Structure 1
Amino acid sequence: MRQTNGWDFDMADHALKFRSIWISDIHLGTAGCQADYLLDFLKNTESEYLYLVGDIVDGWAMKRSWYWQQSHNDVIQKVLRKARKGTHVIYIPGNHDEAARQFLGLMFGDIRIEDEVIHQTADGRKLLVLHGDRFDGVVQCAKWLAIVGDRLYGITLRLNYWFNRLRARMGLGYWSLSQYLKHKVKTAVNFVSSFENAVAQEARERGLDGVVCGHIHKAEMREIEGILYCNDGDWVESLTALVELPTGELRIVTWQKYFEEQSAQIAALAMPASDTMGLQGAAA
């Protein structure tokens, strides 16, 4: 076992070891879902706890039209395999997969379905884990408006798909058009701020130390009036997860960036000592 970037890395099975992982807003069943990146993440990480924090399968989109790739199947099979091998997998449905809420408290294979849970970190902090759509006034009070917004969002993602295909041909990395637009629109920024404050307030009223959620596709980890607010992001735009190290420390992982930056370092760690000495001599 070695460490890279402060994380445990097992050279034998090439897996990053975490105590807990939170992922959400995967949106399987849509063209915008970055299932290949997620599958790579799942293959290269292991954890004691794996939380699926809502919008895993996009039921809204699949009601409009059927879209399902082999990679989407592979993601589900990989999660089920992790559960069978002993990972504690907890599935917390969101608004796009709200149909699963009728099964709260039940087990699906080795996966437990809950509306929310309290997670205690290795260093003793108690975190409320939920999707977060209940704090979205548009979803709760005007679902039709949320569905219209979702369709417009889908159009943006399709534009984003072709835009990034062009970037790839030019040798450029992934860039999220939809995320850029959201961050530039003042009303979207105000919504995100209100959402974050409302979710943090819920944890505060329950006497907890923090909250982990998804829903708004904006990975974030910061303190809001003494409450640790964590959003694990998404696998449509940001390709992010929240992870807990064995010490209880929490970090946000941007998988594409991490994978690119660490590939060279991992290769160097795996290199025989004689080769490493040779490289050092050449550099000298």
Structure 2
Amino acid sequence: MNAATLPLPTLRWRRPLPGFGLSLGLGLAWLSLVVLLPLAALTIKAAGLGAEGWLRAIQDPRVQASLKLSFSAAFFAAVFASVVGALVAWVIVRYRFPGRRLLDALVDLPFALPTAVAGIALTAIYSANGWVGRWLEPMGLKIAYAPAGIVIALIFIGLPFAVRTVQPVLEALGREQEEAAASLGASRFTTLRRVVLPELLPALLTGFSLAFARGLGEYGSVIFIAGNLPYKTEIAPLLITIRLEEYDYNGAIAIAALLLAASFVCLLAINAIPSLFAHERRERGRD
């Protein structure tokens, strides 16, 4: 038997990471230490309050005012961020112009910028002596130290979520369907309503959910521009800090648990939206 007829050694493909069991164990260990254990501790503490403790904490008018402000501001900011984010994503994907790459990079700026810096900058712009506020306040439009300033701060931190969820869908969509609709005589509005929006709707809802969940727990960019007036511009995350400083741990736990539950519902919605739309498309295909 010569060298040419010798069987080649069997090469075993090796994964760059260790086996499934070890990788899964390490991943779950770190996830438990960083995420699951703190959330479990908060859930256990909240469950230990009992119905009476919950009612006592939630029926406080100051708590109700802060929760109402946080939820309403996060909702309106998420709606606005979803609409504007879709427009920004459309411009970045569909057009080529000088500064396009810079605009694409600026979308991620709120992710990299410390939220406290963003809050200070927004306050400097929209305060009574700021660049924009000095022109708006004489007309009766108060932004800084008002609910409107809170909404603007939440739009600032929520806009990247809306852009980055819609952008890959637009890139994958291409222009073939739009050109086909135009060749069949469809108007621009009909093409937008019947062709583009149905494809973007899951991404729009996902971006809205992400922006809403982020807005509920936002702290740094809001406290500077809000003014933090009880019953008027005091957000729920700030009230948690105040309750802790007052040694009212039950009150802080109750507010934190409500925000956690709302964020968990948003997380479930984010994961359920693609499945629901995929199921609907399958049903339409069968029909």
The reply to whether TM is greater than 0.5 is: no
TM-score by length of 2: 0.27
- Bigger strand share: 1
Tell me: higher relative CO, structure 1 or 2? Use CA pairs within 8 A at least 6 residues apart: 2
Structure of larger gyration radius: 2
- Bigger helix share: 2
